[in-house]
Amino acid sequence: MTEREKAIGVFDSGVGGLTVVRELLERLPAEDIIYFGDSARVPYGTKSPETVLRFSRQNLAFLESKHVKLIVVACNTASSLALPALEAEEELPLVGVLLPGARAAARETRNRRVAVIGTTATINSGAYERAIRDIDPGIEIWSGACPLFVPLVEEGWLDDEVTRLTAARYLEPVRRFGADTIVLGCTHYPLLEETIAGAAGPGVVLVDSAQETAIEVEGLLDERGLRTPSSERRRLEIYVSDLPARFREVAERFLGRPVERVERVRF
């Protein structure tokens, strides 16, 4: 198999990275995708940087064993806490989700008040604030963790009264801050896009870094001559580290297509 024919690898702690897969399928329909969701160890967002780095290394090693040509770290927590270390030791090109999201936020805001919501680990790392300020030091930033969103998404409660109440409570300070742009700084959150938009109020732009990340992947494939020579729709393989049934259900509902294979792996 030539380098160009290899798949794109994607990992997240759970189903969240599927938001990136959805954009990749749309933008690069002829590429094979191999996804790993670390469902046995989700959430990452409450864990220490050392633990997130250790898990991320194992996830990369698994995807490498599947002979991928590029890996998307489709997890903001891993992108915030582990990406610089991973980049220093990894030979394959890596794409994280943080910078694309920060760029989009700086581009979208009109009143230059941006809110960032994410996991506790991502917010505590301050990585988004640094990235947005590097782009435009004049932007005012409010950031806050929404730790209940990830289990609600993993549970599949995407359109649910409990989720709406949770969102209203988390977004109350964002409304007071007056942000016109909210960065969904966790790849699970776009699955709750409608609920979050409802709680944020009218006219607020939600930045989902998945789309920006897919654009970055496309650019990198072109730059390195790694685009697949095939022009047909290709395979999506999903691997998880715990029971596959619920994962398949959420994945199919979210992607709007059947997933041929969801397989459990053990490290």
Q: Using CB under 6 A, which of 187, 195, 213, 228 touches ligand DGL?
A: 187
Q: What character string, x for contact with ligand DGL (CB under 6 A) and - otherwise, covers 7-46?
A: -----xxx-x-------------------------xxxx-
Minimum separation from the CB atom of position 176 to ligand DGL (A):
25
Query: Is 77 a binder of ligand DGL (CB under 6 A)?
Result: yes
Nearest Cα neighbor of 60 from 12, 122, 24, 119 is 12
Minimum separation from the CB atom of position 258 to ligand DGL (A):
23
Query: Is 211 a binder of ligand DGL (CB under 6 A)?
Result: no
Cβ-proximal residues to 114 (8 Å cutoff; 6+ apart), any chain: 105, 106, 132, 139, 140, 141, 142, 179, 181, 182, 183
Strand residue runs (E) in the chain: 7-12, 33-37, 68-73, 94-96, 113-118, 140-145, 181-185, 205-208, 236-240, 261-264
The tokens for 201 are: 């109020």
Query: Is 150 a binder of ligand DGL (CB under 6 A)?
Result: yes
Catalytic, 146? Answer no
User: Quick one: CA dihedral 176, 153, 202, 77, positive or negative?
Assistant: positive
Q: What character string, x for contact with ligand DGL (CB under 6 A) and - otherwise, covers 85-124?
A: ----------------------------------x--x--
185 versus 228: smaller Cβ distance to ligand DGL: 185
Beta-strand pair 181-185/33-37: unpaired
Active site residues: 75, 186
Which residues of the shown chain bind ligand DGL in the complex (CB under 6 A)? 12-14, 16, 42-45, 75-77, 119, 122, 150, 186-188
